[in-house]
Amino acid sequence: MTYVYLFWEFFKIGLFAVGGGPATLPFLMDLTQKYDWYSMADLTNMVAVSESTPGPLGINMATYAGFHAAGILGGVVATMSLVLPSIIVIIIIAKFLANFSENRTVKAVFFGIRPAVTALIASAVYGLFKVALMTENGLAIKPLILCVIVFGLMHIKKLKSWHPAMWLLIAAVVGIVFRF
Amino acid sequence: MNWKELWQLYAVFFRIGGLTFGGGLTMLPMLKHELVNKKDWITEEELIDCYAIGQCTPGIIAVNTATFVGYRRQKVLGGIIATLGMVSPSLLIVTIVATFLQSIMDNVYFQHAMMGIKGVVCALMLNTVITLAKKSLVSPVCIAICAAAFLLTLFTPIPTIAIVVMAGIFGVILDKMGGTRS
């Protein structure tokens, strides 16, 4: 039965997550309240793994989420369900709508959706912050400090092009050395 | 049915999926190299069109591009095969990593490492939000829509999907009133 739910939920995500990978995050967060497939804390691991493995972010997150919910087959079901709406929608567009992205109504719809998606992602990231930087005993000081430092470093010109996986590797080493 | 080209579609998108990180815009140079320069499957202009469509349709942008190119070459089956090629590396790699992580979850060093990683994940995601905000909040109307959506997600139980749909409808209403022309 889990597979049916996985199919339904990830099909919906594929149909409504406009703007690619990060846009799936708010939906994945919604799922933590509906099912016990994975916790909010697991989500941070999912983002970390998805950022540091090759492949589109959204696909990696779906595979990981599905794996958490129902093992290897769960990962396959979640990923396939996520891409199914894309396949259907894109083929329809390629077949019938030559100037889809120039269409006035389409433009108007996405004019409204784009800022809203930014808000949805921002609020999901806020939720992620609360989980990742809080423990039972209050604020997790060391990860918070590391977060601020790395965020600052990421905006130094020379380090801007660093790969996310590089930062995650450094974070792991710092975490072990300073006993986070 | 051109089996050889179907196989090539799978192989090329497998390579793209397996060698790029993050998806979305970071994939553009790789797509251009493989599809325009090496294979001559589409022109550079078509690739940009593809991207524009990928960005204003639901779903993962990289997948939308794969489906579009696959469809152009080999119709529906091509679209499906190209997409399967794109997601195959993710399925393999993420499943292996996830299995491995589960077996070391209780290790104390791993837990220290994960706490550090959590801090940096927050920094990375914050960066993503800022980049997105810079791109999408280009006018006062956009900022207002964003603020309204943000408040709705925080203080009301309205589901995410409903907010996306409402924002789309609002965009159309705004256009009818002449508000999207700036």
Q: Is A61 exposed, middle or buried (0-12, 13-18, 19+ CB in 10 A)?
A: buried
Could you tell me which of A106, A165, A63, A4 has the C-alpha nearest to residue B60?
A: A63
Same domain, B96 and B164: no
Same domain, A104 and A30: yes
Neighboring chain B residues of A59 at a CB cutoff of 8 Å: 17, 23, 60, 62-63, 86-87, 90
Same domain, B64 and B152: no
Q: What is the ipTM of this complex?
A: 0.84
Predicted local confidence at residue A83, as pLDDT: 95
Cα A65 to chain centroid distance, Å, stands at: 10
Same domain, B70 and B23: yes
Domain-located, residue B114: no
Predicted local confidence at residue A124, as pLDDT: 85
Same domain, A175 and A161: yes
Same domain, A42 and A79: yes
- What is the residue range of B73's domain? 3-104
Same domain, B19 and B85: yes
pLDDT by residue (tens digit) across B137-180? Answer: 989 999 999 999 999 998 998 988 899 999 999 999 999 987 65
Same domain, A112 and A180: no
Same domain, A89 and A30: yes
Neighboring chain A residues of B30 at a CB cutoff of 8 Å: none
- What is the residue range of A151's domain? 136-180
Same domain, B138 and B91: no
Side chain identity at residue A141, one-letter code:
I
CB contact under 8 A, B159 and A90: no
Same domain, A75 and A123: yes
Q: Could you give the CA distance from residue B107 to residue B113 in angstroms, rounded to a whole number? A: 10
CB contact under 8 A, B95 and A72: yes
- Give the side-chain half-sphere CA count within 13 A for A1: 1
Domain-located, residue B56: yes
Same domain, B72 and B139: no
Mapped onto helix, strand or coil, the DSSP state of residue A54 is: strand
Domain-located, residue B152: yes
Neighboring chain A residues of B107 at a CB cutoff of 8 Å: none
Same domain, B80 and B150: no
Domain-located, residue B161: yes
Give me the phi and psi of A97, to 5 degrees please: -115, 95
Domain-located, residue B18: yes
Q: Residue A114's closest chain B neighbor by CA?
A: B136
Name which of B117, B128, B132 is nearest A172 (Cβ-Cβ). B117
Domain-located, residue B166: yes
Angstroms from B6 CA to nearest CA on chain A: 16
Same domain, B10 and B83: yes
Same domain, A128 and A140: no
Same domain, A160 and A72: no
Domain-located, residue B155: yes
DSSP line for A86-150: HHHHHHHHHHH-TTGGG-HHHHHHHHHHHHHHHHHHHHHHHHHHHHHTEETTEE-HHHHHHHHHH
CB contact under 8 A, A128 and B169: no
Same domain, B98 and B139: no
Residue B23 has pLDDT above 70, yes or no: no
Same domain, A110 and A85: yes
CB contact under 8 A, A51 and B121: yes
Q: B14 CB contacts (<8 Å, ≥6 apart)? A: B85, B86, B88, B89
> Is residue A154 within 8 Å of B127, Cβ to Cβ?
yes
Predicted local confidence at residue B167, as pLDDT: 93
- The most confident of the ranges A62-71, A99-108, A133-142 is A62-71
Give me the phi and psi of B21, to 5 degrees please: -110, 140
Same domain, B159 and B73: no
Structurally, chain A folds into a number of domains equal to: 2
Residue A178 has pLDDT above 70, yes or no: yes
Angstroms from B33 CA to nearest CA on chain A: 17
CB contact under 8 A, B94 and A93: no
Angstroms from B39 CA to nearest CA on chain A: 20
Domain-located, residue B132: yes
Same domain, A70 and A103: yes
Residue A16 has pLDDT above 80, yes or no: yes
Over residues B85-106, the mean pLDDT reads 91
CB contact under 8 A, A125 and B142: no
DSSP state of B40: -
CB contact under 8 A, A176 and B63: no
Of the candidate ranges A94-98, B3-7, B121-125, the one whose mean pLDDT is the lowest = A94-98
Same domain, B7 and B97: yes
- Give the side-chain half-sphere CA count within 13 A for B107: 11
Predicted local confidence at residue B180, as pLDDT: 56
Give me the phi and psi of A134, to 5 degrees please: -125, 140
pLDDT by residue (tens digit) across A101-116? Answer: 778 888 888 889 889 9
Same domain, B79 and B163: no
Name which of A30, A107, A144 is nearest B159 (Cβ-Cβ). A30
Same domain, A124 and A96: yes
Neighboring chain B residues of A141 at a CB cutoff of 8 Å: none
Q: Residue B173's closest chain A neighbor by CA?
A: A108
Name which of A59, A108, A172 is nearest B171 (Cβ-Cβ). A108
Structurally, chain B folds into a number of domains equal to: 2
Name which of B98, B119, B148 is nearest A143 (Cβ-Cβ). B119
CB contact under 8 A, A16 and B161: yes
Same domain, A145 and A67: no
Q: pLDDT averaged over chain A?
A: 89
Neighboring chain A residues of B31 at a CB cutoff of 8 Å: none
